[in-house]
Chains A and B, each alone.
Chain A
Amino acid sequence: MEQQAQIVACPGCLVPPPASASPPAARSNAQIALSLPTIHCQACIARVEQALERHPNVNAARVNLTLRRVMIDAEPDVTAAHLADLLRAEGYEAHELDMASLTQTDTDLIGKDLLMRLAVAGFASMNVMLLSVAVWSGATDVTRDLFHWISAAITLPAIAFSARPFFANAWRALSARRLNMDVPISLAIVLALVSSLWETWLSGAHAYFDAALTLTFFLLAGRWLDARTRAVARSAAEELTALEVPRALRFCNGDWVETPVAQLVVGDRLLVRPGARVPVDGTVLDGRSELDRALLTGETMPVAVQTGDGLCAGELNLTGPLTIVATAVGADTSLHRLAALVALAEGGRARYTSLADRAAKLYAPGVHILSALAFAGWWLWSGDLRLALNIAAAVLIITCPCALGLAVPAVTTAASGRLFRKGVLIKNATALERLSEVDTVVFDKTGTVTQGVPHPLNWGDISRPAQRLAFALAQGSSHPLSQAICAAAQAGGLHPADVAQRRENPGRGIEAIWDGRRVRLGRPDWLGVQDDSGDLVVALDMGDGAAVQLRFSDHLRAGSAELVAALQRMNIAVRLVSGDRPSAVQQVANRLGIDDWQAEVPPEGKARIIADLQQHGHKVLMVGDGLNDTAALAGAHVSISPASALDAARVAADIVLLGHDLGPVADSLLIAKQATRRIKENFRIATLYNVVAVPLAIAGLATPLIAALAMSASSITVSLNALRLRGRS
């Protein structure tokens, strides 16, 4: 049985080559990435690189100051943790980054590709524009034809390369029998090229080569801005993910070996140290401890576990080491089962159509009908196919959504940039628009409006010797209540009492000898104290019989009271929904001034509350950090999660708060409202230009010069209007 368990437990140890074939391929030159959040100047770059290169097994190290990261090429035997320690000794904060999650979704490529196309379009349009200026200022006959031919020779290959994203998107939409913004764009570009070529062939006066190129250039600029904004947000979000390198200690050939969580199988024996998260679902084989389930259920009270008890992935082990046997790994863990709930809840959000899409839906058929009518009308009236085609092309070019293509990305870039400086990360492209529609905010309690860190309530009421004794007993324990006692004692400048034989009983408390008496600090039931209040309570037995009770509650997160007040001033309904006990939830709700609260809500219950609200026509913003919030985060109209949240919650949320303060949520709401107003203004400006220029085009009065002027003027106005958002604060 033992033999068999070992075979199941460690396939990687018995058959190394196939099991480890793929990861070492990526690790062949041992690329290690470390995040260095505190570096800021050239001296830091030099010191970090020199410190790393002095290490005999490091081949090369290169700091990227923009991303605050160092990439290290080292021999395979060098560990990231070792190098991080090396840099910490130099005085720099260093965190290991998971290379796999950094490289898997490298978002720079799309941005680089668009930049290349933008450069080609820019180069070509400048050259063609120079030639066009000559034509507009009166070049005639052979000279004009020559200029047109040269323009054609530059334009055709340039368009074929730079406008490919539009053609590809339009083709995809058309083959799915849909219309999007790229269909009129592609049609305008193609029609402009065809009619201009025909004109040039017949030595005509009007060619739209410059218009086709400037159009491509402006539209690519919009796309590139969009891609860049999202790449910045995504790389910051990826970095948060990469900071959590999932590893576990697995029993393998008589020793504990550090193993990536992805390689664990059912039946593995694992060691969970105090302070570590439980990597998989399992059962306790040996040891006793307490578990913090706050991120999974919202409970602030740690739960005691011992041999035979079940554990869920994601729980935090507090006091004693636990040996567990894995009962479910990977996609079967309770953590991943929550993902199914998330996928179910996400359906509602997928139905949201962005402002740009709504504009395109109105716009695309309108433009096509208009230009088809102009073509048919002129053909019937004059009988001249060439003239009719020319006018149809002019209509398409003038109405082409150059300004519309810039209207949204220019605003979102400006707004995201401003929010990023405030520590708000917009992950989703339409999150800002959705945020501006919010009329109800639902908060989670533990870890969201509170810090999830307890502090003693009646510390001042107990005697000074009791305080000193509690400090002495609590010192060195990783239990959150012990740490709260130490923090309170240090804040009061106390010295710990002299105790001997201090011993931690995992799952119960701490005992020691003081003045020849046995003293204890721990769970009330361990000390024989009755406590029904449901609060967080620790009892202290000073050896004289009567135990002293210490009560704890959770600190509010900075800015949460101000945020609730600000939201109520903005006439937004605020609700508090938690999985914790009613007494704790009520206390927090009272302190924040929230009247509408619910306690002991299971994860499905949270999602149901959100769904109910939305069915009644409310637009809900969900703010939460726990795994029990993920379904609610995904189901809400828009969602925010703090950076301290678990990965799953951050993935489900549209917006991530980087700091500890909740205050920026109110700013984001205001900026989102402003941004949406600007986007709508931009659409109006773009429409206004069309209203002026389209009659000219249909009347056959639009020359390439007018087309170029209308296009550039509207694009520049729209961009400047977007930039107004950046300056004010």
Chain B
Amino acid sequence: MNVLAYLIPISLVLGGVGLAGFIYTLRAHQYDDPEGDSRRILNDQWDDRPRPD
């Protein structure tokens, strides 16, 4: 059963990484325009060079 000492923390950390990722995407307004974002990827305007900001 010693394997539990590794497995439980690992599963918690992995789950926590997922949660942190979700919270990051939520904070970064990535759910504000789901329809537009899914279509922007089809646009080839900035395929050759990154958009200058």
Taking beta carbons and an 8 Å cutoff, which residues of A are in contact with B? 41-43, 45-46, 50, 63-67, 108, 112, 115-116, 119-120, 123, 126-127, 130-131, 143, 146, 150, 154
| Inter-chain contacts of B40 with A (CB < 8 A) | 42, 45
Please name 7 pairs of A and B residues whose Cβ atoms are closer than 8 Å in the assembled complex, sorted by A.
A43-B43, A65-B35, A116-B23, A119-B19, A123-B18, A127-B11, A143-B1
| Inter-chain contacts of A63 with B (CB < 8 A) | 36
A311–B8 Cα gap in the complex (Å)?
76
Whether the Cβ atoms of A66 and B36 lie closer than 8 Å is yes
Smallest CB-CB separation from B5: which chain A residue?
A146
Contact for B35 among A43, A66, A112, A126, CB less than 8 A: A66
Whether the Cβ atoms of B33 and A64 lie closer than 8 Å is yes
Contact for B36 among A43, A45, A120, A127, CB less than 8 A: A45
B50 contacts partner chain A, Cβ-Cβ < 8 Å = no
Mark each residue of chain B from 13 to 32: 1 if its CB lies under 8 Å from any CB of chain A, else 0: 00110110011001000011
| Inter-chain contacts of A150 with B (CB < 8 A) | 8
| Inter-chain contacts of A65 with B (CB < 8 A) | 33, 35-36, 39
| Inter-chain contacts of A146 with B (CB < 8 A) | 4
A45–B16 Cα gap in the complex (Å)?
36
For the complex of A and B, 8 pairs with smallest distance between CB atoms = A65-B36, A42-B39, A123-B19, A64-B33, A66-B35, A42-B42, A65-B35, A66-B33
Whether the Cβ atoms of B22 and A119 lie closer than 8 Å is yes
Smallest CB-CB separation from A44: which chain B residue?
B39
Whether the Cβ atoms of B39 and A127 lie closer than 8 Å is no
Whether the Cβ atoms of B39 and A41 lie closer than 8 Å is yes
A131–B15 Cα gap in the complex (Å)?
13
Contact for A45 among B8, B11, B43, CB less than 8 A: B43
The minimal Cβ–Cβ distance linking B34 to chain A, given in whole angstroms, is 6
Contact for B19 among A46, A115, A120, CB less than 8 A: A120
A450–B22 Cα gap in the complex (Å)?
51
A120–B18 Cα gap in the complex (Å)?
10
Contact for A46 among B15, B33, B35, B45, CB less than 8 A: B45
Whether the Cβ atoms of A67 and B33 lie closer than 8 Å is yes
The minimal Cβ–Cβ distance linking B13 to chain A, given in whole angstroms, is 11
| Inter-chain contacts of A119 with B (CB < 8 A) | 19, 22-23, 26
A441–B32 Cα gap in the complex (Å)?
39
A119–B26 Cα gap in the complex (Å)?
10
The minimal Cβ–Cβ distance linking B18 to chain A, given in whole angstroms, is 7
The minimal Cβ–Cβ distance linking A285 to chain B, given in whole angstroms, is 49
Whether the Cβ atoms of A116 and B26 lie closer than 8 Å is yes
Give the B interface residue count (CB, 8 A): 23
| Inter-chain contacts of B23 with A (CB < 8 A) | 116, 119
The minimal Cβ–Cβ distance linking B24 to chain A, given in whole angstroms, is 11
| Inter-chain contacts of A130 with B (CB < 8 A) | 11
Q: A45-B36, A66-B32, A66-B35 are in contact. Are A123 and B8 (CB under 8 A)?
A: no
A120–B23 Cα gap in the complex (Å)?
9
| Inter-chain contacts of A115 with B (CB < 8 A) | 26, 31
Contact for A127 among B15, B26, B32, B34, CB less than 8 A: B15
| Inter-chain contacts of A66 with B (CB < 8 A) | 32-36
The minimal Cβ–Cβ distance linking B36 to chain A, given in whole angstroms, is 3
Whether the Cβ atoms of A112 and B26 lie closer than 8 Å is yes
The minimal Cβ–Cβ distance linking B23 to chain A, given in whole angstroms, is 6
A636–B48 Cα gap in the complex (Å)?
61
| Inter-chain contacts of A67 with B (CB < 8 A) | 33
The minimal Cβ–Cβ distance linking B17 to chain A, given in whole angstroms, is 10
A146–B9 Cα gap in the complex (Å)?
13
A50–B12 Cα gap in the complex (Å)?
46
Contact for B32 among A46, A64, A123, A126, CB less than 8 A: A64
The minimal Cβ–Cβ distance linking B49 to chain A, given in whole angstroms, is 16
| Inter-chain contacts of B45 with A (CB < 8 A) | 46, 50
Whether the Cβ atoms of B36 and A64 lie closer than 8 Å is yes
A580–B33 Cα gap in the complex (Å)?
46
A540–B32 Cα gap in the complex (Å)?
58
A146–B16 Cα gap in the complex (Å)?
20
Smallest CB-CB separation from B45: which chain A residue?
A46
| Inter-chain contacts of A143 with B (CB < 8 A) | 1, 4
Smallest CB-CB separation from A153: which chain B residue?
B12
Smallest CB-CB separation from A150: which chain B residue?
B8
A67–B34 Cα gap in the complex (Å)?
10
A123–B43 Cα gap in the complex (Å)?
35
A352–B14 Cα gap in the complex (Å)?
48
A150–B39 Cα gap in the complex (Å)?
43
Smallest CB-CB separation from A111: which chain B residue?
B31
| Inter-chain contacts of B43 with A (CB < 8 A) | 42-43, 45-46
A348–B52 Cα gap in the complex (Å)?
59
A45–B40 Cα gap in the complex (Å)?
8
Smallest CB-CB separation from B53: which chain A residue?
A60
A127–B35 Cα gap in the complex (Å)?
32
A153–B26 Cα gap in the complex (Å)?
25
| Inter-chain contacts of A127 with B (CB < 8 A) | 11-12, 15
The minimal Cβ–Cβ distance linking B14 to chain A, given in whole angstroms, is 10
Whether the Cβ atoms of B39 and A123 lie closer than 8 Å is no
Smallest CB-CB separation from A143: which chain B residue?
B1
A66–B39 Cα gap in the complex (Å)?
11
The minimal Cβ–Cβ distance linking B22 to chain A, given in whole angstroms, is 5
A50–B46 Cα gap in the complex (Å)?
12
| Inter-chain contacts of B15 with A (CB < 8 A) | 123, 126-127
The minimal Cβ–Cβ distance linking A157 to chain B, given in whole angstroms, is 12
| Inter-chain contacts of B33 with A (CB < 8 A) | 64-67
A120–B15 Cα gap in the complex (Å)?
10
A42–B4 Cα gap in the complex (Å)?
50
The minimal Cβ–Cβ distance linking A128 to chain B, given in whole angstroms, is 11
A131–B4 Cα gap in the complex (Å)?
11
The minimal Cβ–Cβ distance linking B47 to chain A, given in whole angstroms, is 12
| Inter-chain contacts of B8 with A (CB < 8 A) | 131, 150
Among A41, A45, A115, chain B packs the most CB atoms within 10 A around the CB of A45
